[in-house]
């Protein structure tokens, strides 16, 4: 089927990885994105890419773009810390230093990753195309329709349009995505000598998790990049990275600069009822009002957040469904298996899907299998691992509002048990080793 043409809805993480992979394999592909420009519509700040995601990017991106991806990652965290709300360290695990481009954990700015993935794809991505519905044609093709009255026809329609997928709503109307009952507020704080001084060294150089009473949770990341406030490569960066970043056009669209990122969450009933409608300064106020007993330095960081960077997220999860009969419409990433950020693997799973689907479509290109066989083989593999990740993520870190952690009395006991677990793990070398091995193994399991 040498004339295979693939239509992808959504220029997000999974859709763009697939588009690169198909183009690299000589398969015709077009991506349709609802946003009007390449800088619109990125929510959230950091994404942790693990060996599974790196592997997919390595296989799908042209080599130079993969090198730009690794050069534009933030410095890797050196510790995983567990803190109390009074900023006492319960555990601090040094993370192994690993510079391998694939078998390592990478801290990536979402906006930077988006710009990397859009690089060199001007002829493939069509902006301002909000998908509305599709129709199947008598000749076996499928046509996607857009809100601006235009349409596009191809042999395969891939839904890569994220959690609210319009394609899924038409194709698998019984597939549900539901709120988990947890809300998060996230914001960025500029790194200045003052804000830097508010974080102990291990916290500044690591990823830190604060588990607090009432099921409150906060994650802290510090993102430091190889370029400065003016977008100029920082002094002392190695020649190769400096050259790659220097000539990468994507930086022109990317306003990412060094920042501290906090993400505060709790069960929805603990927030004001209108929290999802609040913005900026009001959200900052909500977090401050909910955390009167937190350490003053942590509260100062809540206060120091750039109001324009504050946004609320209702954490959502998909409800697993039984496999369906494969057709010339398929799905990847959040469009099919939205998961909570509990394990930080949603983007990695979307990337894995892209790599897998690409492999099966290469077999179609080569005449080794039919398109429907290829889609069937992709879905037979993707559905089980995708929904397994959904279940694992929901069970993690209190991202499910029904978790006992969020209940009034039992929550205290769960918090105490959690702290005892981390204290013991921190102090007993065998437990420490096992904890770190399990963490690494989970995140590398699919690479
Ligand atoms: C707070 C938070 C933290 C997270 N942290 C991590 C992490 O550390 N590691 C990790 O692996 N994952 C993480 N995730 C999950 C990750 O962000 C998602 O799983 C990932 O972005 C999914 O990629 P995708 O390509 O499926 O969808 P998206 O990246 O959401 O892309 C969907 C695209 O489709 C477009 N679109 C939507 N509707 C239409 C339409 N009708 N027509 C045309 N285009 C449309 C959108 O504009 C968007 O560009 C986190 C999620 C949250 C909420």
pLDDT of residue 413: 93
Q: In angstroms, what is the span from residue 207 Cα to ligand 1's centroid?
A: 21
Burial 312-328 (b: 16+ CB within 10 A, else e): bbebbbbeeeeeeebbb
In tens digits, the chain (447 residues) has pLDDT values of 458 999 999 999 999 999 999 999 999 999 999 999 887 876 668 999 999 999 999 999 999 999 999 999 999 999 999 999 999 999 999 988 888 889 888 999 988 999 999 999 999 999 999 999 999 999 999 999 999 999 999 999 999 999 999 999 999 999 999 999 999 999 999 999 999 999 999 999 999 999 999 999 999 999 988 777 777 887 777 767 777 787 787 777 777 788 999 999 999 999 999 999 999 999 999 999 999 999 999 999 999 999 989 999 999 999 999 999 999 999 999 999 999 999 889 999 999 999 999 999 999 999 999 999 999 999 999 999 999 999 999 998 688 899 999 998 899 999 999 999 999 999 999 999 888 888 877 777 766
Which residue's alpha carbon is nearest to atom 52 within ligand 1?
Answer: 341
Closest ligand 1 atom, CA of 129?
Answer: 43
Which one of 15, 162, 330 would you pick to mutate in the ligand 1 pocket, going by the greatest count of ligand atoms within 8 A of its CB? 162
Q: In angstroms, what is the span from residue 2 Cα to ligand 1's centroid?
A: 31
pLDDT of residue 226: 79
For the chain, the three-class secondary structure string (H helix, E strand, C coil) is CCCCEEEEECCCHHHHHHHHHHHHCCCEEEEECCCCCCCCCCCCCEEEECHHHHHHHHHHCCHHHHHHHHHCCECCCCEEEEECCCCCEEEEEECCCCCCCCCCCEEEEHHHHHHHHHCCCCCCEECCCCEEEEEECCCCCEEEEECCCCEEEECEEEECCCCCCHHHHHHCCCCCEEEEEEEEEEEEEECCHHHHHCCCHHHHCEEEEEECHHHCEEEEEEECCCECCCCCECCCCCHHHHHHHHCCHHHHHCCCCCEEEEEEEEEHHHCCCCHHHCCHHHHHHHHHHHCCCCCHHHHHHHHCCCHHHCEEEEEEEECCCCCCCCCCEEECCHHHHCCCCCCCCHHHHHHHHHHHHHHHHHHHHCCCCCHHHHHHHHHHHHHHHHHHHHHHHHCCCCCCCCCHHHCCCHHHHHHHHHHHHHHHHHHCHHHHHHHHHHHHHHHHCCC
pLDDT of residue 447: 65
In 3D space, the residue among 339, 336, 318 whose CA is nearest the CA of residue 159 turns out to be: 336
In 3D space, the residue among 433, 360, 369, 442 whose CA is nearest the CA of residue 96 turns out to be: 433
Which residue's alpha carbon is nearest to atom 39 within ligand 1?
Answer: 161
pLDDT of residue 7: 98
pLDDT of residue 1: 47
Which one of 54, 161, 348 would you pick to mutate in the ligand 1 pocket, going by the greatest count of ligand atoms within 8 A of its CB? 161
Percent of the chain's residues with pLDDT above 70: 98
Which one of 37, 47, 263 would you pick to mutate in the ligand 1 pocket, going by the greatest count of ligand atoms within 8 A of its CB? 47
pLDDT of residue 422: 94
Closest ligand 1 atom, CA of 12?
Answer: 31
pLDDT of residue 145: 98
Q: In angstroms, what is the span from residue 122 Cα to ligand 1's centroid?
A: 21
Residues with CB under 6 A from ligand 1: 9-15, 32-35, 41, 44, 47-48, 129-131, 160-162, 166, 184, 313, 333-335, 341, 344-348, 350
Q: In angstroms, what is the span from residue 86 Cα to ligand 1's centroid?
A: 33
Closest ligand 1 atom, CA of 41?
Answer: 47
Which residue's alpha carbon is nearest to atom 41 within ligand 1?
Answer: 131
């Amino acid at each position: 089927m040498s004339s295979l043409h693939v239509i992808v809805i959504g220029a997000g993480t999974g859709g763009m990885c697939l588009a690169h992979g198909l183009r690299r394999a000589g398969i015709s592909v077009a991506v349709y994105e609802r946003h009007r420009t390449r800088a619109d519509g990125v929510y959230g700040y950091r994404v942790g890419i693990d060996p599974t995601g790196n592997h997919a990017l390595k296989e799908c991106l042209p080599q130079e773009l993969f090198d730009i991806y690794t050069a534009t990652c933030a410095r890797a965290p050196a510790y995983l810390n567990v803190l109390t709300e009074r900023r006492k360290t319960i555990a601090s695990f040094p993370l192994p230093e690993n510079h391998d481009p694939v078998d390592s954990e990478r801290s990536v700015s979402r906006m930077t990753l988006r710009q990397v993935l859009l690089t060199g794809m001007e002829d493939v991505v069509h902006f301002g195309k909000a998908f509305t519905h599709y129709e199947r044609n008598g000749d076996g093709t499928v046509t996607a329709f857009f809100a601006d009255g235009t349409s596009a026809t191809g042999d395969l329609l891939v839904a890569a349009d994220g959690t609210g997928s319009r394609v899924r709503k038409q194709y698998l109307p019984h597939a549900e995505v539901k709120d988990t009952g947890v809300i998060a507020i996230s914001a960025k704080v500029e790194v200045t000598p003052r804000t830097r001084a508010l974080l102990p060294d291990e916290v500044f150089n690591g990823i830190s998790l604060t588990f607090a009473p009432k099921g409150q949770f906060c994650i802290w990341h510090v993102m430091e990049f190889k370029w400065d406030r003016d977008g100029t490569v920082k002094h002392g960066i190695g020649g190769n990275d400096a050259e790659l970043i220097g000539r990468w056009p994507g930086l022109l669209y990317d306003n990412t600069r060094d920042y501290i990122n906090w993400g505060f969450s709790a069960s929805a009933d603990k927030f004001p009822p209108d929290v999802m409608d609040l913005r900026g300064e009001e959200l900052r106020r909500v977090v401050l009002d909910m955390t009167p007993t937190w350490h003053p330095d942590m509260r100062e960081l809540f206060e120091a957040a750039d109001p324009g960077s504050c946004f609320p997220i209702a954490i959502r999860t998909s409800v697993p469904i039984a496999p369906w009969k494969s057709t010339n419409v398929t799905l990847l990433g959040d469009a099919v298996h939205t998961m909570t950020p509990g394990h930080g693997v949603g983007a990695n799973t979307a990337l894995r899907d892209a790599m897998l689907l690409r492999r099966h479509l290469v077999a179609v290109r080569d005449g080794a299998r039919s398109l429907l066989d290829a889609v069937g083989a992709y879905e037979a593999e993707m559905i089980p691992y995708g929904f397994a990740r959904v279940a694992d993520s929901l069970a993690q870190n209190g991202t499910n509002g029904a978790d006992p952690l969020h209940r009034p009395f039992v929550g205290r006991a769960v918090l105490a048990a959690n702290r005892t677990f981390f204290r013991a793990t921190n102090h007993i070398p065998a437990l420490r080793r096992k904890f770190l091995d399990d963490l690494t193994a989970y995140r590398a399991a699919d690479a």
